[in-house]
Amino acid sequence: MLCVFYFPNFLLFDILGKPVISSINISDLRSVSKSELSDIANAIIDGSDALMIPQSACTKDIFNSICVICKEAEPAVYQRNIFEELITITPAPMEALYGVAISAVEASLRTSAAAIVCLTSSGRTAKLLANFQVSSLHHYYYFVLLMK
């Protein structure tokens, strides 16, 4: 008996806290076809964090249509489920900084916050917040303060 398991491509990168950048191949330089728009939406739903558009294909019309597709595909992902999976994968004896990052993201989920503002001197807190990122937030603001 053969068993086939579906493992999301980008789940490993979410576990490691690494961003996923997807490249887009656009065949027609005047407009984006329906199949290409579908591929873009599926990449966003699968967990892609960024899209790389070839410079030759980056016209204003193409860019605007890609932006619309990304804005429509982003809410289709159930962010709460992804966040809970990342929490269960995180090892139990963790530093207090992990608790702060998890609490900040969970509070933003409960309050439907539009942004998380993070003041940090080393950037480590911002990286931990990015590990538990919830893409339903409109903006992440990370400020790194240089301490002398």
How confident is the model at residue 57, as a pLDDT? 73
Tracing tokens 């289709």 back to the chain, one arrives at 76
Q: Are 48 and 22 in contact (CB under 8 A)?
A: yes
| Matching residue, tokens 């873009």 | 40
pLDDT band at 148 (very low <50, low <70, confident <90, very high): very low
The pLDDT score that the predictor gives to residue 142 is 44
Domain 79-144 top-level CATH class: alpha beta
- Would you state the structure tokens that stand for residue 4, as one six-digit string? 């086939």
pLDDT of amino acid 116:
78
Summarised one tens digit per residue, pLDDT across range 11-69 is: 666 666 667 777 877 777 677 888 888 888 888 777 777 778 777 777 888 888 888 88
All CATH 3.40.1380.20 domain ranges of the chain, comma separated, are 79-144
More confident residue, 105 or 6: 105
Q: Does position 147 have pLDDT exceeding 60, yes or no?
A: no
Q: Give the pLDDT mean for 111-139.
A: 71
| Residues 6 or more apart in contact with residue 106 via CB below 8 angstroms | 83
Neighbours of 118 (CB within 10 A): 20
Task: Tokens for 75, please give them.
Answer: 């809410």
pLDDT band at 133 (very low <50, low <70, confident <90, very high): low
- pLDDT tens digit string along 67-90? 888 888 877 766 666 667 767 766
Return the H-helix or E-strand segment holding 21.
Answer: strand 21-23
**From CA 22, how far away is CA 132, in angstroms rounded?**
20
12: nearest Cα among 53, 46, 39, 50: 46
Higher pLDDT, residue 8 or 91: 91
